[in-house]
Each structure stands twice: as C-alpha cells, then as structure tokens.
Structure 1
Amino acid sequence: MKRTVIDLQGLQLALRDFTALLGKDRVFTAEEDKDAYSDHFAGANQAAEHRPSAAIAPDTVEEVREIVRIANRHGTPLWPISRGKNFGYGGSAPVLAGSVVLDLSRMKKIEIDERNGTVVVEPGVSFFDLYDFIQAKGLPLILSVPGNSWGSVAGNALDRGVGYTPYGDHASRICGLEVVLPDGDLVRTGMGAIGSGPTWNLYKPGYGPSWDTMFCQSNFGIVTKLGLWLMAEPESVLGLNIDVDKPEDLGWLIDTLAPLRRNGILQQSPSIGNWLRAAATLTTREQWAKPGEKLGSSAIAAIRQKFGIGWWAVALRFYGPLEITEATMRVVERAFEGKPVQKLGRTRWVKGDPPEGSPVTGVPLTYPLANANWFGGRGGHLGFSPVLPVDGDAALKLFKRNYELHDQYGLDYHPSFAIGERSMNNVNQLLFDRDNPAFVANADKLLRQLVKEAAAQGYAEYRAHISYMDLIADTFDFNDHALRRLNQKVKDALDPRGVIAPGKSGIWPANRREHKA
C-alpha cells in the first residue's frame, strides 16, 4: 500500500513553530527521543516502519489547539497519545512513520464529583494517579483497571479497554468529552455543549446526535478531557475462583457462565485464562524446556502442579450489600453443582477488612507485563482479540484451531475469553523474543493467519496493533467495505489535510489513501 512520504520541508517549518510555541524543552527530536516513542515490542527490523520524526508535549488545551493549527499550516501529520503505554498494540509509535507524536501525558487534571460518582480526567492521568487521588481524599469510590494499569484512564477507555469490576467495559462508562477537532476548533459533547451546568457527565446522549463513541478508536479529533462514571465502593466483594482440569472443559465452562452473565447475576465480565496466563508472570520458559523445544504435556503438567493451577481458571466476583452477594454466590455455586470442577476457592472482603488489593477491587498493578519475558531475550507480545458469540462450542472450535496454529509457528498459546452480556473477546497474547528475527517473523505470520481464519468464520478483532490496522479494517467487508467508505467521508470532511493520526484504525485521509482500480 503506497503512502505519500512526509514533507520534510513542511516538517522542519512545523518543528520551528512548535518550538516557538512550547519551547525547546518540550520538542523532542534527538535519536534517543525517537527511540523512546517507538514501538518497544517491535522486532529489530520492524521498528523503523513506525518510527516518528519527533515528539512534542503540550501542557494545556489551548496549546493543543495551536499545535493542530500549525500542523494544518505545514501539512505535518500528528499522532496523539495519552501516555503511550498500550504495549502489545504499538505503544507510542504512529502508524505512519515520520509522524510527530503529540504526547498528552503532561495534561493531568482530575475533577471528581463524589456525590454522583463521576470524574473528568485529562489524557495524562494514569490509573495510579486516579487511584492515589481517590485514596488521598478518602472517597468511597473504586476504579475499574486493566491488567497492566500504568496507562491512561482516558486512553484506555477510548481504545475500548476492559477491567474486572462491573464497570469493566470502560468505553460504555464514558459520559462527555472535550475534543480538539482537526481544524483546531474545540467541542464538548452531550450536555457539555451547554457551556456550563451540572449534567455534562451524568446524561450521555445530550441533544441531537450523540458523538462520544465517534472518538473511540478514531482519528476524527483529539480528546483533551474525558468524563467517566466510577463505581461506588461496595459493602462487600465475595468471590469464587474456579479451576478446571482439561482443555475441553472450556466449552461447558462458558456455557455455564453465559446465562449467569446475560441475566445480570454476574455483573462483571469474567475472564477465563489458561495455565500460561499465570505461569508466564511467575516463571520463564527456559525452566521447563530447551530453546526451540516444544512445550509438551508433561511440561505443562509440571507447571500446573508447581503453581497449583488448572488448565483453565476464572475468577468470579459479586459486589454489593452482604445479603445480596451471599445470595448471589449461592446461586452461582448451584450452577456449578455436578460439573467437573477441579478446584473451587472462595474469597470474602467486607467493608472494614484490610484492603483486598487487586484489580477486582480497583487497585492498579503492572506485574502482568512480566509475561513478555516468557521466551527470554528482550520479550514482546502482539494482541489478537476477535469478538465471538458467548457459545462454548464456538469457543472450543476456535481454541483448538488456534492451538494448532500456535504449535505450527513455534509459539505457546496464551488465550483468555472475557465474557460480556452478549459477546466475548478471545484475547490472545502472541509472546516472542523480539531479538530473534525468525521468531518475530513467525509471530507476524501467525497473527495474519489467525486474522484470516477468524474472518472466514465471521469473527473480527475489536482493537488492533498499529502494524495490522489495515489488515483488520479489510475484514469488515460488508457491501464492498461500506463502513470504511463512511469513515473516509467523515475523515475527509473533518480533516481535509489529513493531519490527525493518518492510518488509525485503517482510516486514511484522501491525501494518503490507497487508490484501487
């Protein structure tokens, strides 16, 4: 796919104007700066494909607006990031090499409405920042955090990230955005369009068309403030930790959980993970097999025995008044009666107990990132996450085929299935050693094959790594890619010079678009 190259003369003029606006200390052009904003999980031969030309770091919304005006004046593409911690999907790096990374991590304002349980955050606010803010003020609110919580609250929600509490569908909790449009104009969505008033972050639709979801995974503007609903601290959190013994137990496990989730008995989106999800953060592969050697059933059995884990495991949690959570847990336990459960453990936290201290109660953490070191060397991973119906047979079929493909390409299979009300995400982490070119090439081939075979079954991803955004967009092919044409029309109307994140989610502006016969 051909792209027009970056206009180097325009870039130099833009950097001159960015420096005049921000000062030299907030314009980064050294090679080590470019390294810092590149994809940290890219293979040795892949990093250049998405290497930025520079990065800039504004402090205020007004600076963002002026930056966009400068970019338009010189035709310089910008790649906005919140904190750039979305490792496995490209980190800080742009789709289009040579873009200027617009780093919003210095914008860290937090405004909380304790009574209504809402917060407005700027893009630089991390989950740790917001957690510390809530703890310091002693507010009776809890977060929903992703597995690796060092990223941006706003960025994660805009990329449709997920967590472990009943508020785990982060994008669905967005209520009210402030957005800098590609021409530098500033808009507030929903009730924020009134200009002032108490309902901006309380009522999602606003008046007329509702625009919040338009800015999720898009390149139609730069979000500078995001309203989010927070969960009230519950009186109790009770739980069941369930392990099962065999790979094929995945089918009945999903079918048992599906009606509980669909009918609202389970309010969180439980995530079923295999033995490697636990093992990859606690150990490394070299302890169990020689380099290049297949990790056979005996090694898997040894790993499971050492850590006391099933082939699959899922953590269920129940939130609310104690009499309700105790009754809910009894209902769920009855659903598992007579099922071949390997192990069932109970957890209990009641307000007044010492902090439970994990993501299920909104505590951010980063240790799951250790799974990137599974193969040794400088580790990395890619994400492949198709959306499936909540159906045990469908999941088992996809699991078996994907297991075969991982084995074929020499990667260990690291899947999980996160169950929503009507769908589930099959999140796969392709772990590899990024200093091994053959390994990196195999991970790339495997991901492309996974995408191809999933699409043949009518499944597509819900998010994508920067190197595969066009590939994923191609799978949405109804009526000769009508959705892509719609996205392009909106892009060209809002951003005729194509300066905001060209290529994001497979959406290219007219001046960089592939022309097909």
Structure 2
Amino acid sequence: MADSVVPQPEAVAAPAPLPTLSEAYNAAPAYLLAEATVARDRIAANRTLPTRHPRTGGLHPPPGMTVDAFLTAVDELRAELGGDHSLVQVNDAGVDLVDGWYLDRPATTHDAFHIAAPEALVSSAVVFPRSTADVQVVVRWANRHVVHDNNDNGNDREREGDGRHGIPLYPISMGRNLGYGGAAPRVPGGVVLDLGRRMHAIVDLDGANASCVVEPGVTYFALYDAVQALNREMQRQNKATPPLWIDTPDLGGGSVLGNAVDRGVGYTPYGDHFAHHCGLEVVLPDGSLLRTGMGALPGPDGTDNPAWQAFQHSFGPAIDGLFSQSSLGIVTRMGVHLMPAPPAHQSYCLTFPRDDDFAAIVEAIRPLAQQGVLGNVPQLRHVVQELSAAHARHGFDLFPTLCVAGREMHYIANIVYDRADGDAKRRAVALMRELIGACAARGFGEYRTHLLFADQVARTYSWGGQALLRFHETIKDALDPRGVLAPGRNGVWPRAYRGRGWELGADDVVLDVIGPRLAADKKA
C-alpha cells in the first residue's frame, strides 16, 4: 500500500511580542506583560472572525462629497499640517479593517465590536494631530468644506435648516471606548481624529498640589507609573506630603482624559472622574481655543496660570460640563486631582447565596458608601430576575455587573454575542433596545451607551416635551452651525442632519445600512 499524504494545516505565524509602556505610549507596563500576553492569546483563541478584514468596497467619502473632492480636500489638509503625509491616513480600498487588540493598537477605522454590518461605520480618513494647534487646523479645514445634503426622505419629523454642513469630525482619545462604538464615526465617511497617537504627554505633575495635566493619549498605566516615581522621589527628599493615588476604571489601558470626559467611574472616593478634573483646554467647533477654570486667567508674562489646577471654577457660569459627553468641543488637555493615599485600606469579597437577598445587600452598602467607608463602586455580580428574563427572551445568558454607590446603582449590561452570526447581532440589538425602554419606563436612565443606541436613549429623557434634547440641540446649533463636530454623538444632531433619516429609534433592529433612509424603508 502506498503511503498516504495527510494535508497539514497551514502554519500560523506566532503573534508578535507585545511592546511595553517604555516602548509605546499605549502598551502595558513591563511588570504586567506576562498577564497581558496571556489575555491576548486567550482572546485570539476564541475569535470567530479574523483580526484583519479586507474591504469589500472602496473609499466612503463624507456625506455630500465625491471621492475626488474629498481627496483634494485631504491634500489641502496635509499641506496645512506641514506636508507630513503620515498625519493623515485615507481609508481607501487598500486599507484593511484591522481590529487590533486592547493593549496593542485597537481599531482606528471602525467599531471592532460591531453590531451593525462590519463596514457600516467606517471612517473616510484618520488624522493624527501632534498638538492643539494641529487640532485647530483640522477643525477650521472641516468648516471650510461645506457641502449640501439634498436628501428628501419623507420622515415624519419636520426637517430643519438647509442641509449644509462641513466635513464631520469624530475625535477619539485612543479608540478604546470598547462596547460604546470604539473608533467608529456615527456618520459613515466621517473623519476620525486620533488624538492620543501623537499627543500623549503628562504635561505637569505636581506633588504638593496633588494634581496633574494630561493629554488625550495618557493611559492610567502611564499616569500610575509617573505618580509612583513621584512618590518615591518625595520619599527620598523626606517630604511630609503623603503619597498619592490615582483612581482607575476596570482596565488601565484607557485614556485618563477620555474616560473622564465620558463620565467614567472608578473605585475610590475619587471614583467620579469628571468631578475630579480641574481645568480643560478645548478646541471649539470654529477652531478657536478655550480654557476653563483658572486657566482662563493668564499667568505671569503670558504663561499658564500656576493656579489652574488649584481651583476648578473661574468667574461666571460653570461651563466645563458642556464638554462632557458632548460634541461641543475637543478637549486637548485636562487637569486631574490626585488622591492622597489613606492611612490604611482593606479589600473585601462578600458573597450571598440567594438572589432574594439582593435588596438587603444594597441597603446595607448604601450608608457605608455615603459615609465614605466604602470606595465608590462596590460590585454585585448576581442575577436579577426581571433582567434575566429579558435576556432569555432573546436567547442570551445574563452577565451583569451591578455597581452600588451611595445613592444609586449602576447596571452594566454585558451582552455576549458572536460578531460572525448576523442573527445573534440582531437579537443583541433587540435585547438592548428592550432594556433601554423597560428601564426608562421605571425611571432608570442610561448614562452611557453604544453610539447606535444613543438616539433612543436621548429620547427617553422626554420630560417637558423633550426639553433636554431641544436645549442640547439649541446649544449645538449655536456653537457648531456647520455641524462638524461629531454629529449624532450621544443623540444630538446638528440642524443640517436633523429629520433627514439619520436618527435610529427603538424599532431599528436590523442595522445593515447606517445613514439617511426613507421613512417607508425604516418601517418595512
């Protein structure tokens, strides 16, 4: 008998070693490299889709622009940025969609955890500004290229404005806002500004004032290491200043600035990250520059005010919140208050066997959290019967995180679905839409969500005939008349887009196409 030849599986190249924080701004520190590598390899082993996806279509220009017109505009932008072509990446047919990995370089072209069609939310280009001045150049460029949206979609809501808008820009700090849309633009063909790639400096670190100033690409890992080095130096100098802590969310690879302006939370008494910022530097929608708090007061000889991070407010109305979860400006620097380390602390893990005990546990935690005995967000990972039933109706298990604070509890819906399974994605969307509606009916509001659910969430805050949304829209139209900054982010659309088929509601479950659609098509 002749020997048979058994075909061997194609050899798969070993993954490249992960860089460390000393080699790349967005990496893990060397002391966590082993754990990071294990996590990456475990995720890779469970993938149902490859990490790299060749494009099936060509360049998707911004709405209202032809490909040629957009490429001409890109050439103009490159020239204004000094002729460095590496600062602008055009996502044409030759640019694959690369999902990346959390602690390496996550996707900057799309949503790696897509619930829509894989190419439904792809940017036309990614810009990597080097400075606040570069960001101003990009914003002014986007305002100059005004196009007209002639879409007449027959939607029920009366259209507003003349449909004229600039090139839509979507700033990201690092693209690690996973589960909320990542680096995807809400308007397909929008231009992404990856702020963190070139802007990742800790501008100031003040041990005596317990504060720092960071750019968008500074991660919690990087800030932690810098603060630890400062603590060691203060100890060496025998300073009486107590050592300092930083407060982090679950994952340390995210942007300190990005998490705060999206109102992320952590685990210590400084766990409300936006509440403990102090001073913002913001590029406004017309390209002008603003500083908030004491930063609005110049320092000696035109330098930065040394009191900028000492006091959060300035004179007159407090405006910092306008740049939190908003599309009213691009934050390029932020002051952060650091926490003096407590004399002692202790971690606990308590379990309770019966779901019926859940309410009693919450009530026991409440006064301890209010008194500051407990940190900001104790977690309860137990099934809640009503939420479990909703998951089961759509064919999903329940993996909740329930975070209990002094006066409120946060329910984090972790819906695990297969991106390669179109039906699973549809059911995941339907489940999320049901949860949004069911919680809102009981007075429980979403305060962060995936960008494709933002329209529905924004409209649940409907008291006073949508008074809050109308107020947001009024401010948006006043500050951003060309609608260039992140149209649709958090459910706020500028005048040129409103009522033209961009909004997605509770009935939109199949998300194959994102963009203006006829009212009849949406109801089909």
Question: TM-score, normalization: structure 1?
Answer: 0.73
Show CA shifts across 1:170-196 (max 9, x none): 111111100000111101001110022
Distance in structure 2 (CA, Å) of the matches to 1:509 and 1:268: 36
Q: Secondary structure at the match of 2:372?
A: coil
* Alpha carbons of structure 1 residues 267 and 146: separation in structure 2 relative to 1, 3 Å: closer
Report if aligned partners of 1:174, 1:212 keep a CA contact under 8 Å in 2: no
Q: In the alignment, what sits opposite 1:108?
A: 200
Q: In the alignment, what sits opposite 2:510?
A: none
The answer to whether residue 115 in structure 2 is matched with residue 7 in structure 1 is: no
The answer to whether residue 159 in structure 2 is matched with residue 56 in structure 1 is: no
Query: 1:483-498, aligned counterparts within 5 Å?
Result: 483-498=468-483
Distance in structure 2 (CA, Å) of the matches to 1:186 and 1:34: 34
Shift of 1:424: 1.8
Q: In the alignment, what sits opposite 1:208?
A: 316
Report if aligned partners of 2:368, 2:406 keep a CA contact under 8 Å in 1: no
**Which structure features the higher share of helix residues?**
1
Which of residues 108, 118, 137 is equivalent to 1:66?
137
The answer to whether residue 444 in structure 2 is matched with residue 459 in structure 1 is: yes
- Higher deviation after alignment, 437-446 or 194-203: 194-203
1:232 corresponds to which letter in structure 2? P
Q: Secondary structure at the match of 2:349?
A: strand
Q: Secondary structure at the match of 1:514?
A: coil
Q: In the alignment, what sits opposite 1:27?
A: 88
Shift of 1:33: 6.0
* Alpha carbons of structure 1 residues 440 and 134: separation in structure 2 relative to 1, 3 Å: same
Which of residues 358, 380, 383 is equivalent to 1:272?
380
Shift of 1:86: 0.8
Distance in structure 1 (CA, Å) of the matches to 2:407 and 2:72: 51
Report if aligned partners of 2:121, 2:186 keep a CA contact under 8 Å in 1: yes
Distance in structure 2 (CA, Å) of the matches to 1:159 and 1:510: 23
Q: In the alignment, what sits opposite 1:126?
A: 219
* Alpha carbons of structure 1 residues 450 and 64: separation in structure 2 relative to 1, 3 Å: same
Show CA shifts across 1:264-294 (max 9, x none): 33243212223xxxxxxxxxxxxxxxxxxxx
Distance in structure 1 (CA, Å) of the matches to 2:448 and 2:79: 37
* Alpha carbons of structure 1 residues 6 and 422: separation in structure 2 relative to 1, 3 Å: farther
- Higher deviation after alignment, 196-205 or 4-13: 4-13
Question: TM-score, normalization: structure 2?
Answer: 0.72
Q: Secondary structure at the match of 1:237?
A: coil
1:453 corresponds to which letter in structure 2? A
Report if aligned partners of 1:127, 1:149 keep a CA contact under 8 Å in 2: yes
Distance in structure 1 (CA, Å) of the matches to 2:96 and 2:379: 37
**Which structure features the higher share of strand residues?**
1
Shift of 1:515: 6.1
Distance in structure 1 (CA, Å) of the matches to 2:461 and 2:431: 20
Q: Secondary structure at the match of 2:414?
A: strand
Count of matched residue pairs: 390
Distance in structure 2 (CA, Å) of the matches to 1:76 and 1:423: 40
Q: Secondary structure at the match of 2:377?
A: coil
Q: In the alignment, what sits opposite 1:430?
A: 415
Shift of 1:101: 0.2
Distance in structure 1 (CA, Å) of the matches to 2:452 and 2:110: 12
Q: In the alignment, what sits opposite 2:111?
A: 39
Query: 1:134-283, aligned counterparts within 5 Å?
Result: 134-138=227-231, 140-196=243-299, 197-274=305-382
Distance in structure 1 (CA, Å) of the matches to 2:478 and 2:409: 34
Question: Quick one: higher RCO (CA 8 Å, sep 6+), 1 or 2?
Answer: 1
The answer to whether residue 54 in structure 2 is matched with residue 17 in structure 1 is: no
Report if aligned partners of 1:6, 1:76 keep a CA contact under 8 Å in 2: no
Distance in structure 1 (CA, Å) of the matches to 2:309 and 2:416: 39
Q: Secondary structure at the match of 2:446?
A: coil
Report if aligned partners of 1:14, 1:71 keep a CA contact under 8 Å in 2: no
Q: Secondary structure at the match of 1:245?
A: coil
Shift of 1:221: 0.4
Q: In the alignment, what sits opposite 2:4?
A: none
* Alpha carbons of structure 1 residues 236 and 469: separation in structure 2 relative to 1, 3 Å: same
Q: In the alignment, what sits opposite 2:235?
A: none
Show CA shifts across 1:159-180 (max 9, x none): 1111111211111111110000
- Higher deviation after alignment, 26-35 or 470-479: 26-35
Aligned-residue CA RMSD (Å): 1.9
Distance in structure 1 (CA, Å) of the matches to 2:265 and 2:77: 35
Question: Equivalent pairs: percent with the same residue?
Answer: 40
1:419 corresponds to which letter in structure 2? V
* Alpha carbons of structure 1 residues 515 and 483: separation in structure 2 relative to 1, 3 Å: farther
Report if aligned partners of 2:170, 2:485 keep a CA contact under 8 Å in 1: yes
Q: In the alignment, what sits opposite 1:99?
A: 190
2:377 corresponds to which letter in structure 1? S
Shift of 1:425: 1.1
* Alpha carbons of structure 1 residues 415 and 59: separation in structure 2 relative to 1, 3 Å: same
* Alpha carbons of structure 1 residues 151 and 142: separation in structure 2 relative to 1, 3 Å: same
Q: In the alignment, what sits opposite 2:26?
A: none
Distance in structure 2 (CA, Å) of the matches to 1:13 and 1:248: 64
Report if aligned partners of 2:207, 2:230 keep a CA contact under 8 Å in 1: no
- Higher deviation after alignment, 415-424 or 467-476: 415-424
Report if aligned partners of 1:11, 1:76 keep a CA contact under 8 Å in 2: no
Show CA shifts across 1:247-276 (max 9, x none): 2221111011112222333243212223xx
Shift of 1:438: 1.3
Show CA shifts across 1:390-433 (max 9, x none): xxxxxxxxx32110011111111111221222222111111111
- Higher deviation after alignment, 11-20 or 186-195: 11-20
Q: In the alignment, what sits opposite 1:85?
A: 176
The answer to whether residue 478 in structure 2 is matched with residue 407 in structure 1 is: no
Report if aligned partners of 1:55, 1:103 keep a CA contact under 8 Å in 2: yes
Distance in structure 2 (CA, Å) of the matches to 1:13 and 1:475: 41
Q: Secondary structure at the match of 1:17?
A: helix
Structure 2: gaps (5+ residues): 1-61, 99-106, 146-165, 233-242, 300-304, 502-518, 520-524
Show CA shifts across 1:60-91 (max 9, x none): 11111111110101121100000010111111
